[in-house]
Amino acid sequence: MLLKFTKMHGLGNDFVMVDAVSRKVFFNQKQIERLSNRNWGIGFDQLLVVEPPSHPEMDFRYRIYNSDGTEVEHCGNGARCFAKFVIDRNLTNKRIINVETKRGQIQLRVLEDGLVTVDMGAPSFLPKDLPFTAEPSESLYTVRAGAEEYKITPVSVGNPHAVLKVDQLTDDQVAKVGALLESHERFPQKVNVGFMQVLNPAEINLRVYERGVGETQACGTGACAAVVAGIKQGWLASKVTAHLRGGDLNIEWQGEGQPILMTGPAEKVFEGQIYI
């Protein structure tokens, strides 16, 4: 089958977008792994498949696959690219778009300046919602991995994250500790690992080791998780700029039970066709 696709990125976190509204498209794990390969395929962090909604009040449904072929619940940078994609492809003329994901329902707002604000829903710090093996009595947990112990804030923003506050960010730290914690036995469905350096109450530097992918240039859900973890611990204010390797995201969270609002860019790189 000849597959038409659009390559996009959100702050360097790159995606292949596929329209499964106009034409039915199905993928298996081996196809996704081949397409994601940066030498033999198109190359991407995630594959996003846009589908018709299953609920009448929704505008679309979309599915998110990591480069290893596993399906995941949520992707903040992908959500912004999704909004630009459906408008550019004339699949909708709405500026406020209601979307189904594996995680649940989200709302996307396309702003006049081209930026996209994503209502990410309310986070959860309950271990069962990640899942994370622990009693829900702490806000900061100690996890032993290898010979070291790490202080983490576990948080679900639709997908699972473990946030570490660090003094400095280094390649070795992100690669080694990220890999150890991603597949730690206390996270039975694995976890995304965020390394956060607090610059001041309104700014952080952040690097994220993503589950099933490795480190990416930017992670939208990771930025949301880091900011709400920092707010919960008393390190951050309610509006924060997260500096990632690919650029900046603005994150706002007003506290327990309130949704996270994430605002940032989405860019089209090119369109193409490939046989699968």
Binding-site residue positions: 13, 46, 66, 76-77, 159, 192, 210-211, 220-221
Binding-site residue positions for substrate: 13, 46, 66, 76-77, 159, 192, 210-211, 220-221
The set of catalytic residues is 75, 219
DSSP string, the chain: -EEEEEEEEETTEEEEEEE-SSS-----HHHHHHHH-TTTS---SEEEEEE--SSTT-SEEEEEEETTS-EES--HHHHHHHHHHHHHTTS---SEEEEE-SS-EEEEEE-TTS-EEEE----B--GGGTT-SS-TT-SSEEEEETTEEEEEEEEESSSEEEEEE-SS--HHHHHHHHHHHHT-TT-TT--EEEEEEEEETTEEEEEEEETTTEE-S--HHHHHHHHHHHHHTTSS-SEEEEEETTEEEEEE--STTPPPEEEE--EEEEEEEEE-
